[in-house]
A = this chain, B = another copy of it.
Amino acid sequence: MKEKLFIIKIGGNVIDNDAALQSFLKDFAAIKGKKILIHGGGKIATKIGDKLGVESKYINGRRITDDDTIDIVTMVYGGLVNKKVVAQLQSIDCNAIGLTGADANIIPATKRPVKDVDFGWVGDVEAKQIPANNLKLFLENNIVPVLAPLTHDGAGHILNTNADTIASSIAVALSTHFDTRLIYCFEKKGVLENVEDENSVITLIDKPKYAQLLEENKLFAGILPKIDNAFAAIDAGVKEVLIGDAQDLLQNTTDNTSGTLIK
């Protein structure tokens, strides 16, 4: 039997709140066994960009990563946020190492081709291009990778990459070596049957259930990419995916009694 590996992604709602972050990191450090943390950027990159006079640019609601923006996200995600998390984990007996995809070439990516829109320095990753042994070296030596949502093109450039996608891609890439469990922490307690009601968490979504939910048109549109991502990861070898509140999920990693389990 393969060893269990938790791959946990946190978003801006945890990163932007010092108390929430500290509490999350305590729960994360307490998880026994192998684990990887992937963090998003939070609002601080936009705040620092504004102060530096770099405007956030969007085309059709999608962010463009131009020359100035890639410098800012490299500083903020790869420097400020990543090292703050690492230093805090080190102080609570978790031997963390902060990495971007360029470091030790753990996540090579491809700059998104320019079609109708030039997204700029954005990297698309594919699980099969990830050299799993590079990340495995850290896990085998009980070092806990903390990943910023940045990759590289192999030609000298850092690329901005969606943190959810990084999480699912490495979960898939490492699934041949480990029994990988992907945990998406977000601001809700799970996938909700009724988005207005925090107590309407759907505890299990399998494919028939998902088809039924889609037909009933009940789900909040924003959650659909996360669920699609989760099923894609499972089809590619990930054992299970959990979606929900950071604290609930991390304090119950052994019995999966919280959040929405996708199988």
Contacts and interface: CB of A to CB of B under 8 A. Distances in A.
Contacts of A83: 74, 78-79, 100, 102-103, 150, 158
Contact of A98 (B51, B88, B102, B154): B102
B87 A79 contact: no
A52 to B, nearest CB: 5
25 contacts: A51-B52, A74-B80, A74-B84, A75-B76, A75-B79, A77-B79, A78-B79, A78-B83, A83-B102, A83-B103, A83-B150, A86-B100, A86-B102, A86-B103, A87-B102, A87-B157, A90-B102, A90-B105, A90-B152, A90-B154, A91-B156, A95-B104, A96-B103, A97-B104, A98-B103
B98 A100 contact: yes
The 4 A-B pairs with the shortest beta carbon distances in the complex, nearest first, are A79-B79, A91-B156, A75-B75, A75-B79
A57 B49 CA distance: 23
Nearest to A143: B104
A71 interface: yes
Contacts of A254: none
A13 to B, nearest CB: 21
A17 interface: no
Interface size class of A (residues with CB under 8 A): 35 or more
Interface string A59-101: 0000000000001001111111011101110110001111110
A99 B100 CA distance: 10
Interface string A39-67: 00000000010011100000000000000
A139 to B, nearest CB: 12
Nearest to A88: B156
A217 interface: no
A19 interface: no
B71 A80 contact: yes
A75 B52 CA distance: 13
A150 B78 CA distance: 14
A66 B158 CA distance: 29
Name, among A77, A97, A154, A157, the residue most crowded by chain B CB atoms within 10 Å (CB to CB).
Answer: A97
A137 interface: yes
Contacts of A91: 154-156
A7 B72 CA distance: 29
Interface in A98-119: 98-100, 102-105
Contacts of A100: 83, 86, 98
